Structure 1
Amino acid sequence: MTTIRLGLAANAAQFTLLVVVNALVGGVLGSERTVLTPLAEREFHLDGYTAALTYILAFGITKAATNFFAGTLSDRYGRKPVLLAGWLAAIPIPAMLIWAPNWGWIVAANMLLGVNQGLAWSTTVIMKIDLAGPERRGLAMGLNEAAGYLAVAATAMATGALAAQHGLRPVPFLLTAAYIALGLGLSLFFVRETRGHARQEAATRATAGGDLATSQVFALTSWREPALSSASQAGMVNNLNDGLAWGLFPLMFAAAGLSLTQIGVLAALYPAVWGLGQLVTGPASDRYGRKPFIVTGMLAQAAALAIFAVADTSGMWSLAAVLLGAGTAAVYPTLLASISDVAHPGWRARAVGVYRLWRDGGFAVGALLAGIVADLAGIRAAVWTVAALTAASGLLVAARMYETHPATARNTPRHDFHRYPRHRDS
């Protein structure tokens, strides 16, 4: 019988493999960030911003819902089956994007993309949390999210260059097909189940409260528990502004006369800084705490969006993209780490799923809000609106969230999970 050990060093091989798998998940997402908005305009003749953003709305709604089920299903059936289901859902995506005869096919492909990202990305997060143990979760989440978003950035740049040279279809999406084939193969043959690591940690954890009902986990993570619910709203607003960047910034850059290659570089700069920055912010939050990074990061994002709203040159937009990436890097891994700090191992996967439901619901809210405001008052008005919401979110975290990292928290309030009746449903 294999001895289960927690920690990054004890599980280095599997952890590294999961980092690679998540990079491939991110690559699938990145293959759309430069190409799809120009495709909406040039080949499908969608003039309204809201119409062009329907694919992000479809993606966000589907991914948000799938995130919730990913946590519940991984508790019930194991992590690896859910990961494999995510890759299987992705198989039709490249063909649908390449041969789509109308925009409805693109929307349908993005619903499958939402299923893929919700199941596969959520599960790699949960599996890394299982393996890492309680002490280095900031580092674990920094490595996970860095791999995913560096792949988003690299693929956005690559597909922009491919589209400029070979056209919007089919060549850029052949890269998507290669990512899916490799990710499915690695997950099927080499990734191992990690649910036993969560059970091992739960068995050694001093506190009770590990068998809450899913409805109770949803309530705690959504509004009842101050740290969990603060993280959920901040995650939603973070991805709200990412949905804006994904859908409207390429249109703003194109209106200023930038080429597809230049748009690809700008589209890649923000997630590249975001990805690299998490290699610093994740482990730093293990030392200095989660809350300072979340508050500072949200306010930095708001400032970056304000620069985007007033700028009209590629140089200023590049500066804003770097600041937006840095702010997102401060927020992204620390929000996930704060969820895993508070949640008991017995329901941690479900809490991550609920958090990611709200966080990725931000894509849908951002696409809808930004599209409507842009149609009514222009892109810059939409950017200002999202900037204000992002600043308000950071201030709410500052007022309501307590520090969650056990090494830095001192006399902070914790939710009394013992007062709930025990349940076994998951």
Structure 2
Amino acid sequence: MSARPVVLGLRANAAQFALLVAVNALVGGMVGQQQTVLPLLAGEEFGLTGYTFIFTYVAAFGITKAIANWFAGTFSDRYGRKPVLVVGWLFAVPVPLMLIFATDWWWVVAANVLLGINQGLTWSTTVVMKIDLVGPRQRGLAMGLNEAAGYGAVAVTSLLAGYLAEQYGLRPAPFLLGLAYAALALLLSGVFVKETRGHALLDAGRHTSRVDGMHDHLHADLTDREIIAQVSLKEPALSSASQGGLVNNLNFGLSWGLFPLLFATADLTVAQIGLLFALYPGVWGAGQLVTGALSDRIGRKHLITAGMALQAGALVVIAASHSFPGWSIGTILLGAGTAMVYPTLLAVVGDVAHPSWRGRAVGVYRVWRDLGYAVGAILGGVVADLLGLHASVWVAAGISAASALIVAVRMYETHHPAPTLPHP
């Protein structure tokens, strides 16, 4: 029996694409199980008071996830996508158990180191695999579906974990969700997911340079050092995407560690805090179903610029509010701004990077993006300790506005839809 021919496109690869969407939802769920609960656990069970110290778990997560992104990209280009995905899920299994049985805060930090490795290896790999499968025409749609699944699961699981915590206590009930997610994901990734590197090789064989010559210097045989330099500093679109991703996740890292504590100042219940926190990734996740495909039609740059500006405005609303209604509006707007940015930045990397080093380019971009978790947690903690919780949000609003300006000035439009060819 001959092997099925490799074909690019979402419809041609619908079954595998849908399976990878489901796997990425489980990746997001691993984060959602703890986001509402851990800041409360820090104070109630471990007696922590300093914001900077409480945020150590977010910083540990962000730094290890950033490093794991690079290895995910490098190893997926070298050894294939599927082995990296399976190994990433093996790192997830101990996480919920460590959180359930933690006797001091450093067990929580260690669990988040493992979670960061899990997230870096699995999320990066599902991103690359979806870009492999769909080809150049529908990258925005593919990234929208991928990120919607992941962050929709963050929202749903955050809400469910908050409910379980209120009904049954902070431990162990919320973390049993993560244990179930890890077991199911290992089964799906190990047995049913198929390797996609052959699709990337087919894409590379069809790759053509842009008519305007913009990417002539980005040939197929760049070294790892050259890829890092282009994505980090030299290439205008790639480096603009990297800084935009970092600031976006700075806001997410800040919200992860700070928002539950900020919301608790108004004597809200755990369920209300869980709902507020779920609104942000919920709108973010659902919005990407629209914004990813929209970027395939109208282009990437203006959507990213407007999204970063909207995030800045949303943070102003949150910083100026002191009650549930204002925070609800702010988190909804923050989710909408993030939805405009998140899949579109990944699509920019897919547009510009050559298929032969796509995995490494995505890895470098995600290194910078996920360092934002650590920067947001540390910056937010330091400013909160010195000036208060609201001041931390004001600082993040200013940084987001500056990021929007950088994208507007430096990034060029990377997506030029190919003309539709008539069917033979």
TM-score interval, smaller chain? over 0.9
Pick one of 64, 71, 74 that aligns with 2:73: 71
Aligned to 2:212: none
In 2, the alpha carbon distance for the partners of 1:226 and 1:205 equals: 21
Matched, 1:13 2:15: yes
In 2, the alpha carbon distance for the partners of 1:76 and 1:216 equals: 17
CA displacement at 1:407 relative to structure 2:
2.0
SS in 1 for 2:355: coil
Query: Which digits, 9 at most, give the CA deviation of each residue in 1:89-138, with x for residues without a partner?
Result: 01100110000010000000000000000000000000000001000000
- 1:315 is matched by which residue type in structure 2? P
In 1, the alpha carbon distance for the partners of 2:293 and 2:23 equals: 21
Aligned to 1:177: 179
Aligned length: 409
Aligned to 1:298: 308
Pick one of 211, 220, 236 that aligns with 2:230: 220
In 1, the alpha carbon distance for the partners of 2:226 and 2:365 equals: 13
Pick one of 75, 91, 99 that aligns with 1:89: 91
Aligned to 1:108: 110
Provide TM-score, normalisation by structure 1: 0.95
Aligned to 1:334: 344
- 1:169 is matched by which residue type in structure 2? R
| Contact 1:19 1:147 survives alignment (8 Å) | yes
Equivalent residue runs for 1:52-201 within 5 Å? 52-201=54-203
- 1:221 is matched by which residue type in structure 2? V
- 2:292 is matched by which residue type in structure 1? G
In 1, the alpha carbon distance for the partners of 2:313 and 2:377 equals: 20
Matched, 1:282 2:292: yes
Aligned to 1:251: 261
In 1, the alpha carbon distance for the partners of 2:16 and 2:103 equals: 41
In 1, the alpha carbon distance for the partners of 2:136 and 2:21 equals: 18
In 1, the alpha carbon distance for the partners of 2:285 and 2:205 equals: 34
Query: Which digits, 9 at most, give the CA deviation of each residue in 1:347-387, with x for residues without a partner?
Result: 11100000000000000011010000000000111111111
| Contact 2:142 2:292 survives alignment (8 Å) | yes
Query: Which digits, 9 at most, give the CA deviation of each residue in 1:389-416, with x for residues without a partner?
Result: 010000000000000002299xxxxxxx
Pick one of 316, 341, 348 that aligns with 2:326: 316
- 2:408 is matched by which residue type in structure 1? A
| Contact 2:285 2:339 survives alignment (8 Å) | yes
CA displacement at 1:206 relative to structure 2:
2.5
Matched, 1:385 2:395: yes
Aligned to 2:358: 348
CA RMSD of aligned residues (A): 1.0
- 1:45 is matched by which residue type in structure 2? G
- 1:389 is matched by which residue type in structure 2? I
Aligned to 2:373: 363
Matched, 1:204 2:224: no
In 2, the alpha carbon distance for the partners of 1:136 and 1:169 equals: 42
Matched, 1:271 2:310: no
Identical residues among aligned pairs (%): 63
Provide TM-score, normalisation by structure 2: 0.96
Q: Gaps spanning 5+ residues in structure 1: where? A: 410-426
| Contact 1:288 1:408 survives alignment (8 Å) | no
Q: Using a 3 Å threshold, how does the CA distance of structure 1 residues 408 and 285 change in structure 2: closer, same or farther?
A: farther
Query: Which digits, 9 at most, give the CA deviation of each residue in 1:138-171, with x for residues without a partner?
Result: 0000000000000000000000000000000001
In 1, the alpha carbon distance for the partners of 2:166 and 2:208 equals: 58
Aligned to 2:422: none
CA displacement at 1:313 relative to structure 2:
1.2
| Contact 2:137 2:418 survives alignment (8 Å) | no
Query: Which digits, 9 at most, give the CA deviation of each residue in 1:66-103, with x for residues without a partner?
Result: 00110001000100000001100011001100000100
In 2, the alpha carbon distance for the partners of 1:49 and 1:27 equals: 25
| Contact 1:90 1:112 survives alignment (8 Å) | yes
In 1, the alpha carbon distance for the partners of 2:69 and 2:84 equals: 11
In 1, the alpha carbon distance for the partners of 2:221 and 2:12 equals: 27
Aligned to 1:260: 270
In 2, the alpha carbon distance for the partners of 1:255 and 1:311 equals: 11
Query: Which digits, 9 at most, give the CA deviation of each residue in 1:243-295, with x for residues without a partner?
Result: 11111010011111000000000010110000000000000000000001100
| Contact 1:289 1:408 survives alignment (8 Å) | no
In 2, the alpha carbon distance for the partners of 1:163 and 1:211 equals: 52
- 2:111 is matched by which residue type in structure 1? A
In 1, the alpha carbon distance for the partners of 2:263 and 2:348 equals: 36
In 2, the alpha carbon distance for the partners of 1:96 and 1:22 equals: 22
In 1, the alpha carbon distance for the partners of 2:322 and 2:114 equals: 35
CA displacement at 1:210 relative to structure 2:
1.1
- 2:166 is matched by which residue type in structure 1? A
Aligned to 2:335: 325
Q: Gaps spanning 5+ residues in structure 2: where? A: 210-215, 420-424
In 2, the alpha carbon distance for the partners of 1:263 and 1:323 equals: 17
In 2, the alpha carbon distance for the partners of 1:279 and 1:51 equals: 36
